[in-house]
Amino acid sequence: MLDACRDQAKDLLQCPKTEAEQPKPASTLQLPAVVNIPEKPKPKQIEVAAAPPVSVENLTTQLLRNMHDAAQNARATNRASYSSGIADVYWRMAQTDEFSEDVAKQRASDLRLFSLVTGVTDVTQIRQFHLSLYRDALGKIPKNFLRSAKDADLTISAVMARANLNNPTTNGLSASTMSRHFKSLELLLKRAKSEGHTLETDLDVSLLKPKVKANTPAHKRRAVFRPEEVKQVFAHSAWQGCQSDGRRHAPGENMIRDAKFWVPLILTYTGARRAEIAGLLAEDVATVAGIPCFHIRANTYRGIKGEGGEIEKSRIIPVHPHLIELGLLDHASSHVTSPTGLLCPDILPKKRMKDGHQRQVAKIGESLDDFWRKSLHLSLNGNPRKLCMHSLRHYVNHSFIHNRDIHEVTRFDILGHVESSDAARSINTTTYRDETDVKEKLAAIASLPCVF
């Protein structure tokens, strides 16, 4: 029985498959039709010439300007990283230190020239010999470089080639201009160091600063107005009555109280710098402790810079009683809501066309120079002592020095600078004290005699 079951199971395992289960010969298999899909044409490759690497040989002011514009825009949108590019470091500093627009543009221009001369665009690559190279170049570069828009596309080699063809007297920047360039570089390195960038040790910008060749004492390098000369100047028709706006130097019955009238008078009664008063906002004539005062501080039109190049804090200077008598407070009130907000809106530098581009007068207040120069020439019989607008600052300083009732710290706080070579004395008069009371300042200002 068991054997019969085993044989039956064997027969079942060897049972032939049905026709449906039988594999078909290879020749009878039906393959799916092949669909030929046309290939998508590849886009035509456009060959772009690689830009030449930036180097001192092909670097131009325009390329550097593009770098600075990119850094400035990144700064404005908070996308700037703390990279070590000169442009990046500079524009972060300009934002943090709240440079005025004019100061920011000027210092950026100084640093672009440094990069043009040296080929260096990264602060970590600056070496001491680059500083010396920069100094030597500033002594040879044409004075009119960048006055034309075409200069922006010149390499340093082309600039120096032009210098070699020039009359030597038209080359080389002045000592004061060079000092400003070095100050811009010094501020850049100081900022880079504060950010932690690795700089070459012992970089020393102070070694570059030009020395004054003259042995004349500092206080004698610029003439100081004498009291009688001040009275002669303000006896001029511009302050006593002129024929018209265009004829200020001809006596008449018209009194025009604009920048030409106010700025020289305010300088005479404050000892401030020209740009400080020319760029004064109307709202900066305000009352402090019940006393009308000028608030000298930086704004969008100009910064406040010390004579040593350091950025000064704001300062308060009382308004002289004669200025109040002449109507200055009413003049200020009427201009608070003016479009510019300036105390003297007519002094705002006007844009002028040059080489197809709009360029602005370099400094606010420069528009007064021709008028003031002619006023001095007519009032002082040719102005043989070569007095200038800054001579009014020296006049005020001289008056305070020789007034025993005015303490030197009061003079310092009004004029905004310290002239002391004694270190201990300087610390005592600038650090270990409070600001001079506004009443003490008013007494000093009021001691200046009325000029007419």
Among 264, 146, 92, 128, which residue's Cα sits nearest to residue 207? 128
Q: What is the pLDDT of residues 160-195, one digit of tens each?
A: 999 999 888 899 998 888 989 999 999 999 999 999
C-alpha 154/C-alpha 61 separation (Å) is 7
With respect to CATH, is domain 220-351+358-446 assigned 1.10.287.110? no
pLDDT < 50 positions in the chain: 2, 5, 9, 12-13, 15-21, 24, 26-29, 31, 46, 48-54, 307-311, 353-361, 418-425, 427
CA distance 260 to 252: 16
Own/partner long-range contacts of 348-357 (Cβ < 8 Å, ≥24 apart):
348/301, 354/147, 354/148, 354/149, 355/148, 355/149, 355/150, 356/149, 357/149
- Name the CA dihedral angle for 165, 170, 173, 177, rounded to a multiple of 10 degrees: -150
The closest of 262, 258, 254, 212 to 237, measured between CA atoms, is 254
pLDDT of residue 48: 42
CB 246 within 8 A of CB 258: no
Its pTM surpasses 0.75: no
CB 450 within 8 A of CB 419: no
Instruction: Provide the pLDDT for residue 28.
Output: 47
- For the chain, the structural domain boundaries read 61-207, 220-351+358-446
Type of residue found at 15: C
| Residue 415 tokens, joined | 């004029």
Q: What is the pLDDT of residue 323?
A: 98
